Amino acid sequence: MPQTPGQLAAALSLSREGGARVGHDRIRLLQAVAAEGSIAAAARVVGLSYKAAWDAIGTLNNLFPQPVVVMAQGGRSGGGARVTPAGLALIDNFLRLEAALSEALGRLDAALGAADPSVSNLFRSITMQTSTRNAFRCTVSRVVEGAVNTVVEMALTGSLILTAVLTERSAAELGLHVGSTVYALVKAPFVTLAPGVLSTPVSARNVLTGTITAREDGAVNSEITIGIGEGKTVTAIITLESAERLDLKLGDTATALFKATHVIVAMP
């Protein structure tokens, strides 16, 4: 069933304990084999190597009493491939089940939001994926429009406010207003650290003080996580030399700073 923009969709994955998994990625591969008539072409469509696609097909064939894909003359080094009636039935039933789960997920998400507005968009928070190390779910508390830029203040917790500076166009396209649920995204290399509590004002709009809860050193850089209260954390990646020079240790008080221009605002 096609999804409307912004609608939640469930990603189904089936497996037995200790067994191989059948997920949407393998069903998509089967669909590509059915459309292209060969494993090599299907692998290109879904972005897999030939070996990875071949292995996935082999795993699927081993999982079911009847093969879901059969090879035409030429075998592994050539020829074509055909999805069997059993494979077509697997595709159809998997997609039907996934669509049913998506509908159920949407109803549950709406019911939770109606029962308690504080958990509105709960599943969007859970399922959001981003490469940015710091992703904070916030509520817009203030929007200040300027001639060129818009300043957006976002409540992370009852006492913590994050600030972002966006272009007027970006703010308008997002439709930001007080009360909007947003995600504030900050890349870890954009976060700078200072030991202890800052005693002098700084130009950075976002200043978060807390306790160092994790430090992982690499050959060049250190990844340091600071607990900033109410279960929230912020992570910075700084050079190992800087971490040693600042003498940042687990349990120490430290302050994370990042510019408002380094905050990306995304809608759920």
- Phi and psi, residue 13, nearest 5°: -140, 125
Average pLDDT over residues 238-252: 95
What CATH number is given to the structural domain containing 92?
A: 1.10.10.10
In this structure, is residue 82 part of a structural domain?
A: yes
Q: How many domains does the chain have?
A: 2
Does 214 share its domain with 102? no
Above 90 in pLDDT, residue 55? no
Residue 123 is assigned to a structural domain of this protein = no
pLDDT given at position 202: 92
Are 94 and 142 part of one and the same domain? no
Q: What are phi and psi of 160, to 5 degrees?
A: -110, 125
Q: Do 78 and 169 fall into the same domain?
A: no
What span, in angstroms and rounded, lies between the C-alpha atoms of 27 and 196?
Answer: 52
Among the listed ranges 50-54, 193-197, 241-245, which one has the minimum average pLDDT value?
Answer: 50-54
Query: Is residue 213 situated within a structural domain?
Result: yes
CATH number of residue 137's parent domain:
2.40.50.100
Question: Is residue 156 pLDDT above 80, yes or no?
Answer: yes
> Which of 81, 111, 141 is the last residue in one of the domains?
111
Summarised one tens digit per residue, pLDDT across range 23-40 is 888 888 999 999 999 999
Mean pLDDT value of segment 114-131: 54
Question: In terms of domains, do 147 and 261 share one?
Answer: yes
Q: Look at strands 149-155 and 134-145 and give their pairing.
A: antiparallel
What domain range is 25 assigned to? Answer: 13-111
pLDDT at 190: 94
191 and 97 in a common domain = no
SS3 133: coil
Give 9 or 211, the one with higher predicted confidence. Answer: 211
**In whole angstroms, how far apart are CA 260 and each of 30, 179, 182, 205, 233?**
46, 19, 15, 6, 18
Residue 118 lies in a domain: no
Burial class of residue 199, CB neighbours in 10 A (0-12, 13-18, 19+): exposed
Domain end among 111, 145, 180? 111
| pLDDT band (50, 70, 90) for residue 135 | confident
CA distance 169 to 197: 36
Say whether pTM exceeds 0.75: no
The verdict on residue 168 lying in a domain is yes
**7 located within any domain:** no
Residues 58 and 176 in one domain: no
Span 146-169, average pLDDT: 91
pLDDT, tens digit (0-9, with 9 covering 90-100), for 202-227: 999 999 999 999 999 999 999 999 99
**Model confidence band, residue 82 (pLDDT cutoffs 50, 70, 90):** very high
